[in-house]
Structure 1
């Protein structure tokens, strides 16, 4: 019988939780004073690389998404160092941050569907 959850999915869940905590409480850079949400973590098969997908609730006008991703990727070594203290793994994966715009796309689709529904009610 196959296991319901693999080891990599359990580690990905723990990484997601711990990275979110580290970003929220341990990054002291004033440019990170926005709400950053870790939406997903995808691990490689050998658990040495992690793709971390993040989204921002509200972005300040002077910072773009690209600049925030560059800042987060530059601080990935520090985040990895803090993960070493929090998690008992033999290998802590290298972290690369990516922007997840699925919330924005879903919101646009929802607005379009609402417009279609209201037009059908009028007709």
Structure 2
């Protein structure tokens, strides 16, 4: 089971600080998860510029130019944000029993661990 999934709110925990032009401390939603490379694409983080060759569409409008979009960052550089405290936290798993239509089964569920400072 994955620690980080699409749609999770995460915070960048490493890299250059925002004062130095980096993304450390920024929070955003996960747009895409790339499990083969252990990378995630986070909304509003790690913007890169891409030069796209000028072309034409079927209707004749011009395409191309300089585009900016989010690039993937390594999953170890982000941490899930605890929904209660709004601070980065670690993820744990626990087994819970779920009853649906009279059938009871055990399911692994993610939860935000409390850090030592929050207790």
The TM-score with structure 2 as length reference comes to 0.27
> Which has the larger strand fraction?
2
Query: Which structure carries more helix by proportion?
Result: 1
Structure with greater Cα Rg: 2
TM-score normalised by L of structure 1: 0.26
